[in-house]
Chains A and B, each alone.
Chain A
Amino acid sequence: MTFREVLEHGSNWALAAVLVGIPLYGWIKGVKVYEAFVEGAKEGFNVAVRIIPYLVAILAGVGAFRAAGAMDALARVVGPVTAPLGLPAVVLPMAIVRPLSGGGALGILGSIFATPGLGPDSYAGRLASVLQGSTETTFYVLSVYCGAAGIVRYRHALAAGLCADATGLVASVVIARLVWG
């Protein structure tokens, strides 16, 4: 078994163990598991509906931003500055898109892997991989979590999240240069 297979098995087993373990534990403890499950599950629909306006607000903005090519324009302006620092122009759009759209960032990662001359084992491919793995879709997390709790004034949550993203970016470049530079 390769390392990757071990990881996949571990993840699958963890999920299965929780899915089976909770009802079983509850049943042993004398909980009416079916009734409790249905009672809790009722909430699922309400929560999903409650976050829709928050998600529409951010994703409409991100959609316009991406479709208009604002990201590429930004990458062209900043690219010449960041390339000598170890952040190549091909990875830059990903750094910009990562906090906005998880799917978008994954798409860019895939295209870096598929580009002849780059690929997953190139410096750009490895840096983009580390970047994808070490940062989150900050705006999505914010709108879903705050939306569910009905929060509209985020206070410093956004600033702290963006600080974390910026740190993830800098740390990714630093470690990529150290290991593969």
Chain B
Amino acid sequence: MNVVFVLLFVAALVAAALHGNVKAVGTGALEGAGTAVTLAIGLIGVMALWLGLLKIAEKAGLVDKLARAARPIFRPLFRDVPDGHPAISAMLLNIAANMLGLGNAATPFGIKAMEELEKLNPRAGTATNAQALFVAINTASLQLVPTTVIALRASAHSSDPAGILLPTLFSTACALTVAIASAKLLERVVR
């Protein structure tokens, strides 16, 4: 991440100097910083809503039930996470929300999952195998139906807005497979 951070700024400066527009580096960075806060503030409401609902589900025993139901799928992937741990149900809810395209709900569940996984972390501040794998799964777009893209195509008068559905699923499946495989392989090498 340190490399990425430096590289973004250096690449920006080089490109800006070549275009004779060094001012853009400063304005772009400031604008990005502003966007970051707007995004985070915008998250407060949705976060509160879904974390509130999740607390109800937890007290009603729904979270436990989900964790038990998800055990067969999650156990081979997340061996370090004990059975019935709350992280399991948060991960399941995150993945389910992602698949359904409920991005607003997926993020709070994902954050909750990461916090729960952090409780199992012996080295605070360093990602565990389970956390890295979970994040990697989330970087492959899990959405079964890309509704935003389909809507955008329809509004651009496509003759076949949903025709990209199966190819997108194929591509998603490939990305997801590689996300899991590379996380599993790399966890043995990267300390």
A-side interface residues toward B, CB under 8 Å?
3-4, 7-8, 11, 14-15, 18-19, 22-23, 25-26, 29, 31-33, 36-45, 47-49, 51-52, 55-70, 73-74, 99, 106, 109-110, 113-114, 119-121, 125-126, 129-136, 138-139, 141-142, 144-146, 148-161, 163-165, 167-168, 170-172, 175-176, 179
Return chain B residues, CB-CB under 8 Å to A59.
Answer: 32-33, 35-36, 39
| Chain B minimum-CB-distance residue to A109 | B152
How many angstroms between the C-alpha atoms of A131 and B54 in the bound complex? Answer: 32
Minimum CB–CB distance from A168 to chain B (whole Å) comes to: 4
Which chain A residue lies CB-closest to B55? A40
**Given A110-B152, A148-B115: A120 and B5 within 8 A (CB)?**
no
A73→B10 CA distance, assembly (Å): 14
Whether A31 and B59, one on each chain, are in contact in the complex, defined by CB atoms closer than 8 angstroms, is yes
Task: Return chain B residues, CB-CB under 8 Å to A131.
Answer: 171
Indicate if the CB atoms of A64 and B174 lie closer than 8 Å.
no
Q: Does the CB pair B150–A37 fall under 8 Å? A: no
Q: Note all chain A residues with C-beta closer than 8 A to B77.
A: none
Docked-complex contact B32 and A36, CB < 8 angstroms: no
In the docked arrangement, what's the CA distance between A14 and B98, Å? Answer: 12
Q: How many residues does chain B have at the interface if contact means C-beta atoms less than 8 Å apart? A: 114
The secondary structure that dominates the B interface is helix
Assess whether A65 is in contact with B28, with CB atoms less than 8 Å apart: yes
Segment 91-136 of B: residues with Cβ below 8 Å from A: 100-102, 105, 107-108, 110-111, 114-115, 117-118, 124-127, 131-136
Closest to B115 in A: A149
Nearest A residue to B6, CB-CB: A61
Contact A133-B172, Cβ < 8 Å, known A44-B51, A61-B9:
yes
Task: Check B15 against A68 for contact (C-beta < 8 Å).
Answer: yes
Chain B: which residue is nearest A71 at the CB level? B15
Q: Is residue B24 within 8 Å, beta carbon to beta carbon, of the partner chain?
A: yes
- Out of B12, B150, B177, which one reaches A64, CB within 8 Å? B12
**CB pair B28 A64 closer than 8 Å:** yes
Stretch of B68-76, B78-86, B183-191 at the chain-chain interface: B183-191
Question: Which residues does chain A contribute within 8 Å of B133, judged by CB atoms?
Answer: 160
- Interface-central residue, A63, A142, A167, by most chain B CB under 10 Å: A63
Whether B15 lies near A134 (C-beta < 8 A) is no
Residues of chain A within 8 A of B139, CB atoms compared: 99, 136, 138, 141-142, 160-161, 164-165
A115 to B139, CA, bound (A): 29
Closest 6 pairs (CB-CB, A-B):
A63-B32, A40-B55, A67-B28, A44-B48, A133-B146, A61-B8
